[in-house]
């Protein structure tokens, strides 16, 4: 049964009367007295001169820069990003005021029971934490955390703890009733009818609500443990629902709001790793997949959600849910790419810059999935291209937005060398299992023309011909793209094949095994002469004196290129002229 509870008005007025607004505000903002007001920099927008005014006499605040204003409860709501009830309860707890609720005794009992359980969890957090810091039996845990970069201030900031490998050390230490221990998940009744600790021999990660209430734990075994369960999480209780709780949100929410972005991880150490690297807007699910309740909670703080885990592993059903949530809650889901075999916790120690870079260059969820397919194999044949295109388009067509599908269809077409119109048509029809036919790549032909020979020599005798080569020497579009790939690879065959598009790759594969018997210098001169003639035919309309002079010199050099004694000088001059034309200097 859901109890709709409201706080008794009399208690609200008593709370407001007991609080001094400036005292509460100064826990977050530096204020100075100006006349009857307190003034400071507004915490709700960036400013250089203070326009945030607080007046204790009226119990109101107002920013004349952004317009924010309200009473003490409104201030806590806005600064802590909590709802009205949570703000009131937080203030009442600090002020020592017992609240009553309009649901009567039943509602009061529910609230009191929750507070009792949360208080017990808080005592457990403190006990585990003190045990980690000060107990001799926690030495192994401290050593483990130190090696992972989680000791010292990190352990203190995140209230890490240690559960000793004893039967009932916590249950005895807390002194709580058996029903409280059971209802919090801290203990259970064993076969002997005695209370036993739920967590033993583990490093403890306390899990708090976004408002800072401790509600659960995650525990990790130490190296060498025989326990097959590496991680153990609290069972769900009346105060803890995994599908509605995100580890670290209590620490991250202010940074999340400021950046309008939240990073969702899989593990507790990943969250801590992000914080250690200066990226303090990371949270983690608690042993469960990301749920709609999680997204609904996150939407209160940010519109950009970056997944810092293998989001594609959850399959098609998860993808469809992500697209639905993007539409329903107006959030944008993207995926951070990490180096192979590395997780955020590892990178925080070995390469913090890579961690930040992965988030900065996160790809849209669909783009991440499509790129993974496109880069999954080399496109060596028409069959490879058809298979990759089909797999990629199957992912594209899961997206509900037709315009998004068509845009990604164009990207797939460019990668595999298929006419874009063919794949756009498939995207429009939203075929779920598209069958794609690919025509064989166009071949250069049996005759080995000069451009093909030059490519072969670049792959086989790079040093002999490369100094004479320019992009403008290749008139054929496929040969030109092939040359650019070889040039970027420095003549390395495998690297050039990786860089080339499908059509250029096919040409390079033939050139890499071609049996070419030619003089590289003569072949280079032939290409230079041919490129010069093409360029001269386009120079007939030039009128600028310096351009006409350069054309005259090029014609003279062209006449000299067949002269063995002057050929090298003429070729160098023509290369300079061609390069100058491309750069717009001649």
Q: With 50 as the cut, is the pLDDT of residue 443 above it?
A: no
Judged on CB neighbours under 10 Å (0-12, 13-18, 19+), 434 is buried
Q: Measure the CA angle with vertex 361, ends 356 and 365; round to 5°.
A: 120
Average pLDDT over residues 366-385: 85
Residue 127's pLDDT is: 98
Cα–Cα distance, 148 to 346 (Å, whole number): 8
- The highest-level CATH class for domain 9-95 is alpha beta
Provide the H-helix boundaries in 330-439. 344-350, 352-360, 365-374, 382-396, 402-416, 420-429
Say yes or no: domain 114-237 is CATH 3.90.980.10. Answer: yes
Q: Measure the CA angle with vertex 392, ends 386 and 398; round to 5°.
A: 135
Average pLDDT over residues 37-56: 91
Q: Residue 248 is inside which H or E element, if any?
A: none
CATH architecture of 244-361: 3-Layer(aba) Sandwich (3.40)
- Percent of residues, the chain, with pLDDT higher than 70: 92
Whether residue 470 contacts residue 525, with contact meaning beta carbons closer than 8 Å, is answered with no
Q: With 80 as the cut, is the pLDDT of residue 448 above it?
A: no
Whether residue 358 contacts residue 338, with contact meaning beta carbons closer than 8 Å, is answered with yes
pLDDT in tens, 165-195: 999 999 999 999 999 999 999 999 999 999 9
Whether residue 284 contacts residue 264, with contact meaning beta carbons closer than 8 Å, is answered with yes
When pLDDT is cut at 50, 70 and 90, the band that residue 435 belongs to is confident
4-8, 40-44, 88-92: the lowest-pLDDT one? 4-8
Q: With 70 as the cut, is the pLDDT of residue 441 above it?
A: no
Rank 261-265, 285-289, 497-501 by mean pLDDT and report only the highest. 261-265
When pLDDT is cut at 50, 70 and 90, the band that residue 316 belongs to is low
Q: With 50 as the cut, is the pLDDT of residue 323 above it?
A: yes
When pLDDT is cut at 50, 70 and 90, the band that residue 349 belongs to is confident
Residue 116's pLDDT is: 94
Residue 586's pLDDT is: 52
Average pLDDT over residues 252-274: 92
pTM score: 0.66
Q: With 50 as the cut, is the pLDDT of residue 540 above it?
A: no
Residue 544's pLDDT is: 63
Q: With 90 as the cut, is the pLDDT of residue 282 above it?
A: yes
Residue 440's pLDDT is: 55
When pLDDT is cut at 50, 70 and 90, the band that residue 103 belongs to is low
Q: With 80 as the cut, is the pLDDT of residue 139 above it?
A: yes
């Amino acid at each position: 049964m859901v109890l709709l509870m409201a706080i008794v008005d009399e208690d609200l007025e008593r709370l407001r009367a007991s609080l001094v607004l400036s005292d509460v505000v100064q826990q977050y903002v530096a204020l100075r007295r100006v006349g009857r007001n307190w003034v400071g920099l507004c915490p709700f927008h960036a400013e250089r001169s203070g326009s945030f005014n607080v007046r204790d006499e009226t119990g109101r605040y107002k920013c004349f820069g952004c317009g924010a204003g309200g009473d003490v409860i409104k201030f806590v709501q806005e600064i802590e990003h909590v709802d009205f009830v949570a703000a009131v309860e937080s203030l009442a707890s600090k002020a020592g005021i017992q609240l009553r609720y309009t649901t009567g005794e039943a509602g009061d009992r529910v609230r009191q029971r929750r507070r009792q359980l949360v208080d017990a969890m808080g005592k457990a957090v403190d006990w585990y934490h003190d045990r980690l810091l000060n107990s001799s039996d926690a030495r192994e845990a401290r050593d483990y955390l130190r090696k992972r970069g989680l000791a010292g201030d990190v352990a203190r900031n995140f209230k890490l703890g240690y559960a000793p490998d004893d039967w009932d050390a916590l249950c005895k230490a807390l002194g709580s009733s058996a029903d409280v221990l059971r209802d919090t998940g801290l203990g259970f009744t064993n076969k002997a009818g005695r209370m036993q600790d739920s967590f033993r021999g583990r490093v403890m990660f306390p899990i708090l609500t976004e408002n800072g209430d401790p509600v659960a734990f995650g525990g990790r075994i130490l190296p060498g443990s025989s326990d097959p369960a590496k991680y153990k999480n609290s069972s769900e209780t009346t105060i803890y629902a995994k599908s509605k709780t995100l580890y670290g949100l209590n620490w991250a929410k202010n940074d999340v709001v400021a950046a309008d972005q939240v990073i969702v991880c899989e593990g507790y150490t990943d969250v801590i790793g992000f914080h250690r690297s200066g990226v303090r807007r990371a949270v983690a699910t608690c042993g469960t997949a990301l749920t709609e309740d999680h997204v609904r909670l996150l939407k209160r703080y940010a519109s950009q959600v970056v997944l810092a885990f293998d989001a594609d592993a959850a399959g098609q059903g998860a993808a469809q849910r992500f697209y639905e949530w993007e539409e329903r809650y107006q959030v944008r889901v993207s995926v951070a790419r990490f180096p192979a075999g590395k997780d955020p916790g590892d990178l925080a120690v070995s390469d913090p810059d890579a961690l930040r870079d992965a988030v900065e260059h996160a790809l849209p969820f669909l783009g991440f999935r499509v790129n993974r397919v496109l880069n999954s194999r080399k496109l060596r044949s028409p069959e490879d291209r058809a298979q990759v295109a089909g797999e990629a388009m199957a992912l594209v067509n899961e997206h509900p937005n037709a315009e998004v599908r068509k845009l990604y269809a164009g990207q797939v077409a460019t990668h595999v060398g298929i006419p874009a119109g063919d794949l756009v048509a498939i995207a429009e029809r939203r075929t779920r299992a598209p069958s794609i036919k690919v025509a064989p790549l166009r071949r250069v032909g049996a005759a080995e023309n000069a451009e093909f020979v030059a490519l072969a020599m670049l792959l086989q005798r790079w040093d002999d011909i490369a100094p004479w080569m320019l992009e403008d020497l290749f008139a054929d579009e496929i040969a030109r793209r092939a040359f650019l790939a070889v040039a970027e690879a420095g003549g390395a065959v495998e690297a050039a094949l990786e860089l080339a598009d499908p059509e250029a790759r096919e040409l390079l594969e033939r050139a890499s095994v071609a049996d070419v018997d030619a003089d590289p210098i003569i072949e280079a001169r032939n290409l230079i002469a041919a490129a010069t003639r093409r360029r001269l035919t386009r120079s007939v309309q030039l009128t600028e004196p310096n351009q006409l002079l350069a054309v005259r010199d090029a014609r003279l050099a062209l006449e000299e290129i067949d002269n063995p004694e002057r050929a090298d000088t003429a070729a160098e001059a023509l290369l300079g002229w061609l390069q100058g034309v491309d750069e717009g200097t001649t």
